[in-house]
Amino acid sequence: ARELRAEVGLCSRGGGECRGELVVHELDLASLSSVRSFCQQVLQEEPRLDVLINNAGIFQCPYMKTEDGFEMQFGVNHLGHFLLTNLLLGLLKSSAPSRIVVVSSKLYKYGEINFDDLNSELSYNKSFAYSRSKLGNILFTRELARRIQNTGVTVNVLHPGIVRTNLGRYIHIPLLAKPLFNLVSWAFFKSPSEGAQTIVYLSTSPEVEGVSGKYFGDCKEEQLLPKATDDLVARKLWDISEVMLDQKEKLLTRVLNCKSIIQFRHFDYMGATFCKAHASSALGSGLEFFWILKGRDCDAGQESKWKLMTATDINQLHRRGIKHDLKAKMTGMRFTSPELYKTSGPQPEIWHKMGQKLNELSEDL
């Protein structure tokens, strides 16, 4: 880190020639396929990765969706970086000591993680959506720091302050007010170079060697609001992010706010037959989840499939399969690990029983 910082400083002052070569690859964080393609190129071409800076972002845009159906700000600012970091984490570990730097914002203070509507399907406020994504950055950083302890990789998060960039291109400023706004921005906003100082500091400074999971501003550690230090919420957000990205093949995947089945198919995996469904949900129509079956072949899987789709009684849940009734009365069911489960309203007993069955079956498999 000391050598890298010295070289960065020397080059920025024009006092030396930078070693190495600038290589550019296309990366669109609004496209999961683009993220995967980019990471594949990096893993194929680069023998090591010393620093990963998650800096890209979109700010207070009108409601729109990413290529994969996620609300744009949550998809780009949180999910895109979540996938990027996880796909490159192996290379970072093999390159240790290495660092991950996450760029958040002071506006996280106005964000709330609403697990019932992460994808803003029910309502959308562009300001709150941005703040939520920035709060997500901080929670992601804290949970990642917990997961990568003792690996030689550190991760920290920062706010750069208000910087004069085109990040605010979606904010409408009346024509008559633009001269005043420009004057204020030049007087009080940071230049891009000034805004990058904390990023460079966390990437290269020996002062933060071994420091992980912390929040910085102006090259100093700062305190977070309690909602940004809730480890339970951080773990649940991580878990749900994995489900939304379908990044990890799991024997049991959480089911959130399912409304209707769009597509259904089955496949064999690890000696058991699985039924895989695409469902319409508050997280978007791309959500995938699994029915776990005990059938050992396709015929058994098909038989269980119809039993599951037609069963209407909780007593029909058995070790051969788990039935999810996605019709009227069962709309809105949720399953997750007990320690991660939170709800603002009462939990119907039938949901609780089905959740227990899911947990029992996942442990059995």
Catalytic site positions = 130
Query: 132 and 115 in contact (C-beta within 8 Å)?
Result: no
- At residue 8, what is the residue type? V
How many other CB atoms are there within 10 angstroms of residue 251's CB atom?
A: 15
How many other CB atoms are there within 10 angstroms of residue 66's CB atom?
A: 21
Alpha carbons 48 and 90: distance in angstroms, whole number: 10
Strand 258-269 to 272-281 pairing: antiparallel
Query: 354 and 324 in contact (C-beta within 8 Å)?
Result: yes
CA nearest 275: which of 245, 254, 306, 229?
306
Q: Is 280 left (phi over 0), alpha (psi -120 to 50) or beta?
A: beta
Q: Is 284 left (phi over 0), alpha (psi -120 to 50) or beta?
A: left
Query: 241 and 147 in contact (C-beta within 8 Å)?
Result: no
